[in-house]
Amino acid sequence: MPRKIVKTKYFFEEDYRETIAEVSTDKYEDWKNNDTLKVVGKPVSRIDGYDKVSGTAKYTFDVDLPGMVHARILGSAYPNAIIKKINIKKAKQLEGVLEILTFENTPKIPWYNNSTFLFDSHVRCEGDEVAAVVAESECIAEEALKLIEVEYEQLPFVTSSNGAMKTDAVKIHDNGNIVGGRPAEYSRGNVDEGFKEADIVFEDTFDTQVAVHNPTEVHCSAANWDGNKLTVWDSTQGVFAVRNVVSASLGLPESDVTVITKYMGGGFGGKLETGKYTIIAALLARDLGKPVKITVNRKQMNLITGNRPDSTQSLKAGIKKDGTLTAMTLTSYSAVGAYPSWGGCSGPFRSIYKCGNMKTTEYSLMINAGRARAFRAPGHVQGTFALESFIDELAEKAGIDPLEFRLKNYSETDPNSGNPYTTKLLREAYKKGSEAIGWHQKRKATGSDTGYLKRGIGMATQIWGGSGGPPAYVTLKLNSDGSAIILGGSQDIGTGTYTFLAQVVSEVLEIPMNKMQVILGNTSSIPFGPESGGSTTAPSLSPAARDAAEQMKNKIMSGASAVLGLPENELIYKEAAVYAINDKSKSITIPDLMHRMHEQMFITNGARSVNPEHYAINSFGAHFAEVEVNTETGKIKILKIVAAHDIGRVLNKKTVENQFHGGIIQGIGFALMEERILDANTGKVLNTDFHTYKIPTIQDVPEIEIHVVSTGDNLLSNTGVKGMGEPAIIPTAGAIANAVYNAIGKRIKSLPMTPDKVLNALYS
């Protein structure tokens, strides 16, 4: 079990994390294509599927502890105000109310990069936490909130990035409205020289909206103390991250805090951070000596638990007559809410196409609204829409087919570092996707379709990281009856982690999956693992699971050698038993072996290996869309989406297709309907529920066709898996926008592409 401590880094949510971790140095034989494997890659049904479809799965929302009481949060009624006075007397007198927290009686726990506190007398957006009530029931807590009297001194506010940039703008915090005090800049080559070399110089501007996560399960926590030990049930994408924040906030050793997430109803990035509500529940539970459950309602979620920030992106490029890119620049502005966050969207712009002269300037601007958080491929969804729309415009200027233009500027190495890729099969994705959509047969001259229903097809490219990396661990326990327990250092956010871990172990040890138990999401019983975000879960945990299983096989072989009295090179492992190669009468099963060895359990601990140095690790793909536009109503109907991707090895065909369908549908929502509407006159959000915040329904879902063109990235890890949660959504909006342009001959440069925007483009 060779191990070493290394410094490494991996891509996580549009950033590189540098870590020092213990990694495995064991080398295993590369798995061949999935068609040669027994379990991995097959469309195995989820092992947690029955619990979920039968209603027996227990989510955090379902936690019900003996003697549990309920808390609710009062949010600010105004976008920017000072609380002059808060009167909780009437609320406390309500029968059943147990305690009320405000900034006046709560410890000053720093929050949001120490820019505020858990409760603060200065509220900076609608919904900002003002008070928390705990009562014997949810209804009583809700009623008590209405009885709290708050006297506000209302302050001027700003609701847009344009407003935040003005010299006389309201300052959200003392250090100004630009996060970090200045824009984030990147450059390579010499853009001035690049533009001089160009035959054509073109520029355009695109904008995207604020979108809200809106998972099925709302944000919620339950907290219970046993002496000085705290247990928190949390709907989170990172049980260890929550444990660390809770322990630091409350001054507890990490060993005294347990965080549990068995099942969760979606996250999309909004649940990567610890919520204030979790700390509030823990404080109240400690004060009362009772378990406390706190639930953030749908309206509050739409206000304060995170969003994809908006963007205004100005792009400029120079091209030669043959379509070669000579220079590219991007300037973007994103409103990230009332507390520091990141709103950049230049990742695709810098990374997809070969261009030696480039510059990007990105402003992340604070306004009086809910704070931005990571949202399924942060930066890439809005950035890809603008870039891929712009690429189609450049292709048209050069008189080149959009697909050929992309191939003309194809980069064989990483444009940022110059490093080769571990794998890059984007050409294959282009080929497969274009064939499936009928690119060369169906694509007509732009706007040439006759009649009021016009059809068109379009495409867009995606790049993402998804390498995963250490530290990530899996513990494997083999029982004396041949059954196994897998303890994975992560949580399943609905993507199939329970299932793929069992598949990997089953592939190596040939133990049936129905003889395995997988335990996730409990910081006191599982080894450390990563947050479930950034498309990193499967590429981080699957190699650790294989490492644990291969170690277990070696342990079994070693034990069988001693028991059978034969050297290991004369033995073979097959179907959870060991056989002598030259004497079939000599064999031993796992239960017999453990009985002969007087062992009740074998235990191994697997670790993720280090990422390879001097390589770029990325996933690639393309979406192709066919649409129909009603030029009388402005309604866009999506007829078909084809997704073709290089994502390394597929661990489970069924769950991968599930992920792609979900991401594409979410991308359709971003393209056509989802938008937080913020009233500039009042600073209030006008659509805070599913009635007014539109998301796709089954009637909006077109035919979806999935193609994976990769078989495994053996340079990356012992399973060859790249993440695909984010790639599934990234290029969808761009492909739809380009298809709409092909259909009607008018480009929609603002998302969402609602009927009014289509009609304005057609007839204004």
Which pLDDT belongs to residue 1?
A: 58
Residue in 500, 664, 539, 532 with CA at minimum distance from that of residue 267: 532
User: How far is residue 667's CA from residue 665's CA, in Å, rounded to a whole number?
Assistant: 5
Binned at pLDDT 50, 70 and 90, residue 14 comes out as low
- Report, in angstroms and rounded to the nearest whole number, the Rg of the chain calculated over CA atoms: 27
363-409 confidence digits (pLDDT tens): 999 999 999 999 999 999 999 999 999 999 999 999 999 999 999 99
Burial label for 452, CB within 10 Å (0-12, 13-18, 19+), is exposed
User: How far is residue 407's CA from residue 416's CA, in Å, rounded to a whole number?
Assistant: 18
* Range 638-644 average pLDDT: 98
Residues 6+ apart with CB under 8 A from 380: 14, 345, 347, 348, 462, 463, 464, 726, 730
pTM above 0.95, yes or no: yes
| Tokens linked to 648 | 């390394």
Which pLDDT belongs to residue 445?
A: 95
Residue in 29, 19, 120, 6 with CA at minimum distance from that of residue 530: 19
The amino acid at 751: L
> What one-character-per-residue DSSP string does 266-330 give?
--TTTTSSPPHHHHHHHHHHHHHTS-EEEE--HHHHHHHS-EE--EEEEEEEEE-TT--EEEEEE
User: How far is residue 693's CA from residue 691's CA, in Å, rounded to a whole number?
Assistant: 6
Q: Are 127 and 370 in contact, with CB atoms under 8 Å apart?
A: yes
267 phi, psi to nearest 5 deg: -145, -55
Binned at pLDDT 50, 70 and 90, residue 706 comes out as very high
Residue 144 has pLDDT above 80, yes or no: yes
Which pLDDT belongs to residue 644?
A: 98
**CATH 3.30.365.10 fits domain 420-460+614-764:** yes
Residue 510 has pLDDT above 80, yes or no: yes
Binned at pLDDT 50, 70 and 90, residue 5 comes out as confident
564-614 confidence digits (pLDDT tens): 999 999 999 999 999 999 988 899 999 999 999 999 999 999 999 999 999
Q: Are 515 and 483 in contact, with CB atoms under 8 Å apart?
A: yes
Binned at pLDDT 50, 70 and 90, residue 166 comes out as very high
513-562 confidence digits (pLDDT tens): 999 999 999 999 999 999 999 999 999 999 999 999 999 999 999 999 99
Please state which CATH class domain 3-59+468-607 belongs to. Answer: alpha beta
682-700 confidence digits (pLDDT tens): 999 999 999 999 999 999 9
Residue 11 has pLDDT above 90, yes or no: no
Residues 6+ apart with CB under 8 A from 146: none
Residue in 73, 72, 172, 78 with CA at minimum distance from that of residue 126: 78
Helix, strand or coil, per DSSP, at residue 689: coil
Beta pairing, strands 636-646 & 587-589: unpaired
412-427 confidence digits (pLDDT tens): 999 999 999 999 999 9
Q: What dotted CATH number matches 63-155+216-266+271-304?
A: 3.30.365.10
What are the residue ranges of CATH 3.30.365.10 in the chain?
3-59+468-607, 63-155+216-266+271-304, 174-210+309-411, 420-460+614-764
- Correct CATH for 174-210+309-411 of 3.20.20.240, 3.30.365.10, 3.30.360.10, 1.20.1050.10: 3.30.365.10
User: How far is residue 684's CA from residue 744's CA, in Å, rounded to a whole number?
Assistant: 36
248-259 confidence digits (pLDDT tens): 999 999 999 999
User: How far is residue 525's CA from residue 262's CA, in Å, rounded to a whole number?
Assistant: 12
Burial label for 581, CB within 10 Å (0-12, 13-18, 19+), is exposed
User: How far is residue 311's CA from residue 333's CA, in Å, rounded to a whole number?
Assistant: 5
